[in-house]
């Protein structure tokens, strides 16, 4: 690794502060920051590695939900759902053992070393695309109380407010059930 000058680090710090609290490795490279500079800043304690390829400035406030932040940065298009969403909005006393995320049907399961995730696949409608079908189409789930809580698949907020079960009609969990 080439030596990185303190002057170069002083130029990079305002750029990272302007970019935001978190920066992906690929975004830093697009901003013109060399990988050796990032690694030198990490080694000096100026940057903290949150996850593989995800960094934050060490002088910033600690993250309140580091697992949720990591998943949302590493899995674009994922929607935090079920117990994880309830915990985020302080609507439950349960502590999730994994981050529950919903993805559009057809997407591949993301591979993360940490944090553990539970993936649910949803039809297209909860992700904002309108359908010409009747808005009263019911979600299917083996849990009747959950079905009554989330009677329409169009409103993903209702799905997030539900306390468990599968997401949407034809949804599958990670085992394909």
Q: What band does 103 get if pLDDT is binned at 50, 70 and 90?
A: very high
For residue 145, give Cα distances in angstroms to 96, 148, 171. 20, 5, 17
Distance CA 175, CA 155 (A): 25
Domain range summary for the chain, segments of one domain joined by +: 6-57, 66-161
Provide the pLDDT for residue 120. 93
Residue-wise pLDDT for 1-40, tens only, equals 456 788 888 889 988 888 887 889 999 999 999 999 999 9
Q: How far is C-alpha 70 from the chain's CA centre? A: 6
Architecture of domain 6-57: Orthogonal Bundle (1.10)
Is 136 a residue whose pLDDT tops 70? no
Whole-model pTM above 0.75?
A: no
């Amino acid at each position: 690794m080439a030596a990185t000058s303190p002057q170069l680090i002083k130029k990079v710090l305002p750029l990272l502060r302007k970019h935001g609290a978190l920066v992906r490795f690929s975004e830093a490279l697009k901003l013109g920051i060399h990988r050796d500079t990032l690694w030198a800043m990490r080694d000096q304690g100026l940057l903290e590695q949150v996850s593989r390829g995800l960094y934050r400035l060490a002088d910033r406030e600690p993250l309140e939900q580091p697992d949720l932040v990591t998943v949302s940065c590493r899995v674009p298009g994922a929607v935090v759902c079920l117990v994880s969403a309830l915990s985020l909005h302080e609507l439950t006393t349960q502590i999730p053992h994994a981050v529950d995320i919903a993805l559009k049907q057809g997407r591949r399961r993301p591979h993360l070393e940490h944090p553990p995730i539970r993936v649910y696949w949803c039809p297209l409608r909860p992700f904002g695309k309108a359908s010409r079908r009747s808005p009263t189409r019911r979600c299917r789930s083996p849990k009747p109380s959950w079905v009554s809580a989330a009677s329409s698949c169009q409103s993903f907020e209702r799905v997030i407010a539900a306390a468990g079960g599968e997401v949407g009609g034809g949804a599958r969990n990670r085992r394909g059930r």
